[in-house]
A and B are shown apart, each in its own frame.
Chain A
């Protein structure tokens, strides 16, 4: 099973809402990533978890809060977002932290109104 799943597929939220994105993998990978992708742009790294510990935060605003409850799950908690945060949010995983074969999920398309 080489699949990374993400829920929900689509999310519309107001600027005062709190919501969460979920990512799951059952490949035994020990590194998990959150990326943000705007239309016609490449993915931009947000966070990296390695062995369930946050190892990279690319200076992401605190309205985005990642969480890694266990080695298979990754969450991204969203609060007080801005319309410019509307994007495709991609989760990825790799076997280990310094492993360039990253497997991406299908993404959650987020719209902030």
Chain B
């Protein structure tokens, strides 16, 4: 079992829809979670960074961690064509670990 699992999609939704992107992780000791966005032929860009449980909101983006089910989510409200990208969840695993473990990435397309 991979430490961080993510459905690779692809996911295609109409403009304005609410998008839900999800990952699961295997170890309940994981505490830090990140979401990166990667446009085609570009490097990943850090979108959101959460610690432990709960929600974190930044504009149209909300990151959610449910430790009881080991589930992390990224919600995008009022999705725009410019949100079309690959979204990667990541976690360093254990506190103090230097290495990020990435999910496979979900390719998202927002159709105008």
A-side residues, CB < 8 A to B, are 4, 6, 31, 40-43, 45, 48, 50, 55-56, 58, 88, 90, 92, 97-98, 100-107, 109
Q: Is the interface of B mostly helix, strand, loop or mixed?
A: loop
Count contacts on B: residues with CB < 8 A to the other chain. 24
Q: Is the CB of A42 within 8 A of B99?
A: no
Question: Given A40-B8, A50-B98, A90-B44, 19 more contacts at CB 8 Å?
Answer: A40-B107, A41-B104, A42-B102, A43-B88, A43-B102, A48-B99, A98-B96, A98-B97, A98-B98, A100-B49, A100-B92, A100-B100, A101-B46, A101-B49, A102-B46, A104-B43, A105-B43, A106-B42, A106-B43
Contact partners of B104 in chain A: CB under 8 A: 41-42
Query: Distance in Å from the Cβ of A111 to the closest Cβ of chain B?
Result: 13
Contact partners of A40 in chain B: CB under 8 A: 8, 105, 107
B-side residues, CB < 8 A to A, are 8, 32, 34, 36, 41-46, 49, 88, 90, 92, 96-100, 102-105, 107
Contact partners of A90 in chain B: CB under 8 A: 43-44
Task: Please judge, given known A-B contacts A41-B104, A100-B32, whether A55 and B42 are in contact too, CB under 8 Å.
Answer: no
Contact partners of A55 in chain B: CB under 8 A: 98
A107 to B90, CA, bound (A): 19
Query: Distance in Å from the Cβ of B52 to the closest Cβ of chain A?
Result: 13
Query: Distance in Å from the Cβ of B1 to the closest Cβ of chain A?
Result: 16
22 interchain pairs (CB within 8 A)? A40-B105, A41-B105, A42-B88, A42-B102, A42-B103, A42-B105, A43-B44, A48-B98, A56-B98, A88-B41, A90-B43, A98-B97, A98-B98, A100-B34, A100-B92, A100-B100, A101-B34, A101-B49, A102-B46, A102-B100, A105-B43, A106-B43
